[in-house]
């Protein structure tokens, strides 16, 4: 009887341990994933700034500030692609300020 109870407790402890391990693993995975996304976004911003500098020369500090504050990979990507289609720095600036607001 007591041996059965110990067996039940053992199984319960094992199940609880597994559940806790999964929760901790998910939390750790989420943290690591966020770090990777942050690195990707930082790399996208650097690429965008370098491309703007090559296309238009020294870019205004306001542009750098706006780009530094961006957090959406999609917006950063669209701003990077837009470098190929705009005709002037002024046109790009309008697009940058419009997208940076969103």
Sequence spans of domains, the chain: 2-101
Tokens 């542009």 sit at which residue? 63
Q: Which tokens go with 17?
A: 């341990």
Q: Which tokens go with 88?
A: 């002037």
Q: What is the CA radius of gyration of the chain?
A: 25
* Span 54-67, average pLDDT: 95
For the cut 80, the answer to whether the pLDDT of residue 4 exceeds it is no
Q: Summarize pLDDT for 10-56 with one digit per residue, the tens.
A: 788 778 888 888 888 888 888 888 999 999 999 999 999 999 999 99
Residue of 64, 66, 71, 22 whose CA lies nearest to 42: 71
**In percent, how much of the chain has pLDDT > 70?**
94
- What is d(CA 64, CA 48) in angstroms, rounded to the nearest whole number? 10
Answer positive or negative: Cα dihedral of 98, 99, 101, 102. positive
- What is d(CA 31, CA 17) in angstroms, rounded to the nearest whole number? 21
Please report the pLDDT score of residue 28 as a whole number.
86
């Amino acid at each position: 009887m007591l041996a059965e109870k110990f067996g039940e407790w053992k199984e319960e402890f094992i199940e609880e341990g597994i559940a806790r391990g999964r929760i901790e693993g998910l939390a750790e995975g989420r943290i690591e994933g966020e770090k990777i996304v942050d690195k990707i976004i930082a790399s996208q911003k650097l690429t965008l700034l370098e491309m703007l500098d090559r296309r238009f020369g020294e870019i205004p500090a306001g542009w750098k500030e706006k780009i530094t504050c961006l957090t959406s990979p999609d917006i950063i990507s669209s701003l990077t692609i837009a470098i190929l289609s705009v005709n002037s720095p002024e046109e790009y600036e309008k697009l940058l300020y419009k997208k940076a607001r969103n």
